[in-house]
Amino acid sequence: MTHDPVKAVAESRFFSAEWYLGTYPDVALAGMDPVQHYLHFGAPMGRDPGPDFSGTFYLARHEDVRNAGHNPLWHYELFGQYEDREIAVSEVGRLRPDADIAASELDRTRPALATVTARRRIEALATRRQEGRTHRLFGQFDRDAARACVDALQSLSREEMAARRQTASVILPSWNRAASLERAVGSVLGQSHQNLELIVIDDGSTDATADMLAGLGDDRVKVLRTDRAGVSGARNAGLAAARGEWVFYLDSDNRWSRDFVRLMLIGLEATGARCGYASLRVEDAEGRVTGYRGEPFDRDVCLEGNYVDINVFCHRRDLVKKLGGFDTALRRMVDWDLVLRYTRDNPPLHLPFIGCHYIDEKQGAGRVSTAEPYVFGKIVAEKNRHGHDSAAEALAAVRLDIAVKLGDGEVPEAVAALARAFEDQGHRLRIDRPDSWSQRHPHQDQLVLVGPGAEAYRPHPEQITLALPHRLTPPDAVAARLWQAAQAQVLAPGR
């Protein structure tokens, strides 16, 4: 067997390009070869290569492979199969009994734990920290850990009684999502924790949202109507109206598991944490499981990329007054920014049960996750790593990865001089020819400059794209103007 990872994966009977592209539609949107994507991005994110091989299981079962940082499928093909290493099929995409959800719900038929045992178990969860690389999406869910967590929580009778007296405010923004909104609202009103208020922000909907909300007939529901404020503005309107001790968030296309709020409040009461989050199950529009999210918290790791989902995050309401709401200057990564601000001085509690069914429909160009520049990730990380007061201040300090798209032929000296001027400013710049225009993932280059001979290049919405001016001298001044133009495009009001 070849040691070349590309060849080893491509020839593996466990890698299915068709399954990989169908299961993870962002790969096709990025225009990347599925083998290359799996090796460089998919496996580190916890994605599986095909329906019959779970990379998450392989790394969890074989600690030496995980510690060495090997790609799981590459290791299995070269070594694991000859060492009789255990493998498992992927749980992604399988329609199956909801054993994972059942393990995440209260079950009073199970014997109660001794109070001291239950408290020690929850205290151990409160002190866990993420070890090593996180996986935004992983294929296996630890049902035993979820069951052990829930058993401990339901055994804490004093904390459970105190949690029942706590009021939860649920912030639910929606824009033209009447069909899915009804399901989301039902999952809130059907919570086993009944002491809550649901604040639905109708953000300028023109569909049947108003009629659906008018027919609810539950006095726990408050409806606010805004004139298309966007998700951050809508959530901030909800936060201003919230009156509960605790704040939870739910998006209109998702739904909670029935005991989510109750279990979170018991855990928070038991540990004294001021914010926390659960795990969630990711499903496609047909209900097939595509993965799971939720790992212990480590701030340094979270600064490299968010893995705390807002749909299972909650916090004390007084943090809003102290730290502010959602940053409306950000058109993307707003959830990550809020999580980083709120957890800076308040270590969150992660409880490893499933709190939410997250519906991940096939991504399209209209989604915020693919329709706004990825540079907002750099801005959020810079803002929270160095304590900048605003997105504009953070952007000014950011240094970008820049790609210049050119046609075939020699690199014009003026373009080379411009490249040196950008590098002198601290940016990193590369020059792409037609055969390499689409080789890199869009997230790797935040700014694209389209130069001579590249008129056929198709811009990607996740990148800032500017045309090189005809006159490129003096290069320092041109580089400064292009950087200013890129900043203006990023800081423009959201759509």
Contact call for residues 349 and 271 (beta carbons, < 8 A): yes
- Specify the DSSP class assigned to residue 53: B
Amino acid at 381: A
What pLDDT, on the 0 to 100 scale, is given for residue 97? 57
Amino acid at 306: N
What pLDDT, on the 0 to 100 scale, is given for residue 27? 86
Confidence label for 110 from pLDDT (cuts 50, 70 and 90): very high
The pairing of strands 275-283 and 313-316 is antiparallel
Residue 327 phi/psi, 5° resolution?
-80, 105
Rounded Cα distance, 278 and 375, in Å: 28
Rounded Cα distance, 237 and 69, in Å: 45
Q: How far is CA 441 from the centre of its chain?
A: 17
Contact call for residues 403 and 375 (beta carbons, < 8 A): no
* Residue of higher predicted confidence among 23 and 380: 380
What pLDDT, on the 0 to 100 scale, is given for residue 462? 93
Q: 């792409």: which residue's tokens?
A: 432
Confidence label for 495 from pLDDT (cuts 50, 70 and 90): very low
What pLDDT, on the 0 to 100 scale, is given for residue 123? 96
The pairing of strands 349-359 and 246-249 is unpaired
Q: Residue 145: CB partners within 8 Å, gap ≥ 6? A: 352
Burial label, 178 (beta-carbon count in 10 A; 0-12, 13-18, 19+): middle
The answer to whether residue 275 scores a pLDDT higher than 90 is yes
Confidence label for 229 from pLDDT (cuts 50, 70 and 90): confident
Mean pLDDT score of the chain, rounded to an integer? 92
The answer to whether residue 365 scores a pLDDT higher than 70 is no
Q: Mean pLDDT, to the nearest integer, of 147-158? A: 97
Best CA proximity match to 141, nearest among 11, 295, 285: 295
Contact call for residues 382 and 454 (beta carbons, < 8 A): no
Rounded Cα distance, 481 and 397, in Å: 16
Q: Mean pLDDT, to the nearest integer, of 478-487? A: 96
**Strand ordering across the sheet containing 428-432:** 428-432, 401-405, 447-450, 464-467
Contact call for residues 442 and 462 (beta carbons, < 8 A): yes
CA distances from 457 to 26, 401, 407, 437, 467 (A): 20, 18, 9, 8, 11
Burial label, 169 (beta-carbon count in 10 A; 0-12, 13-18, 19+): buried
Contact call for residues 164 and 261 (beta carbons, < 8 A): no
What pLDDT, on the 0 to 100 scale, is given for residue 370? 59
Contact call for residues 237 and 308 (beta carbons, < 8 A): no
Measure the N-to-C terminal CA separation of the chain; round to a whole number of Å. 51
Q: What digits encode the pLDDT tens for the residues 285-308?
A: 888 888 899 999 999 999 999 999
The two structure tokens encoding residue 123: 């205290």
Rounded Cα distance, 353 and 296, in Å: 12
Amino acid at 472: L
* Residue of higher predicted confidence among 368 and 273: 273
Torsion sign over Cα 484, 395, 324, 204 = positive
What pLDDT, on the 0 to 100 scale, is given for residue 92? 78
Confidence label for 96 from pLDDT (cuts 50, 70 and 90): low
What pLDDT, on the 0 to 100 scale, is given for residue 2? 64
- Specify the DSSP class assigned to residue 38: I
Rounded Cα distance, 326 and 342, in Å: 11
Q: Please list the alpha-helical segments (H only) found in 11-135.
A: 17-23, 26-30, 34-37, 43-45, 55-61, 63-68, 72-78, 99-102, 115-126
What pLDDT, on the 0 to 100 scale, is given for residue 363? 46
